[in-house]
Amino acid sequence: MKTWIYIDHFKGEVQPGSWEALGLGKTFGAVSAIVFGAGMDAVTKAAFEYGADEVIVADDAALADYRAEPYASTLSALASSLTPDLILLPTTARTRELSAMCAVDLNSGVLTDISALEADGDPSTSLRIVVTRPIYEGKVLEKTVCSAKPAFVTLRSRAFPKPAPEAGRTGTLTKAETKADAKSTVEGYSATEAAVNIGDAAVIVSGGRGVSNNPSLGLDEKATAQKGFELVGDLATVLGGAVGASRAAVDGGYITYAHQVGQTGKV
């Protein structure tokens, strides 16, 4: 079975779920990592060290910042030409968009946020990708089958183990052609997220409406709560974690949605 792993990154920082996807892919045999961007030498090196047998890289200034159109066009063209059976991706906002666009381009299918995966049948004739994913707030496990090729599958964060890197490991490097356009450009990003992404953090220190209950400060409710979250942030920094918040705290304007945890939050 020909398996590809899409390495999702932001400003050169690889999303940890990419390595989890690579580890899962290795259970089915040799894997190719897909790397898009500009100045991707460090990401390419890391992909080899985490287990990729081949890295297919489109290193181009046109791909310096993620944009759906050129990324989808490039990945779809590669998949159409090289015909992988399975493309694994971590689950992020970018990969949800990218996998859906590519599946439309290739008349294929997308299986999202999965927690288990099996390959059934002969890859050359009757391959079926069978996945399990939690639904109804995790109360039910759903099994879904995809027989279209390539099957795009996004992995639930931390559902699969992250492999240990092997320093100095190398493999086959393949250069890919970029399918770019000029419909949109990215001029920059605003820093609105927490210093540590709560979706990736091993430790989350969370606060709720109670942080606004400190009359000794002599401030209004919102200002008191914001001071309270500064203390929560100090503790999170000491523990090397991220700041979380309840929905009530977010709705009250104490802190931004990027920090929300729980059923309607990020984790």
| Average pLDDT, integer, range 109-122 | 92
pLDDT band at 169 (very low <50, low <70, confident <90, very high): very high
Domain 204-259: give its CATH superfamily.
TPP-binding domain (3.40.50.1220)
Three-class SS string for 186-229? CCCCCCCCCCCCCCCCCCEEEECHHHHCCHHHCCCHHHHHHHHH
Give Cα 186 distance to the centre of its chain: 20
Percent with pLDDT over 90 in the chain: 63
pTM to 2 decimal places:
0.81
Residues of the chain with CATH 3.40.50.620: 3-175
pLDDT of residue 16: 93
Third-level CATH fold of 3-175: Rossmann fold (3.40.50)
List helix spans (H) across the chain. 17-26, 41-49, 68-82, 93-106, 221-239, 247-251
pLDDT at 194: 46
| Residue type (1 letter), 171 | G
Question: In this predicted structure, what is the pLDDT of residue 240?
Answer: 87
User: What residue spans in the chain does CATH classification 3.40.50.1220 cover?
Assistant: 204-259
Question: What is the per-residue pLDDT across 223-266, written as a single tens digit (0 to 9) for each?
Answer: 888 888 999 999 999 998 899 999 999 998 899 888 888 765 56
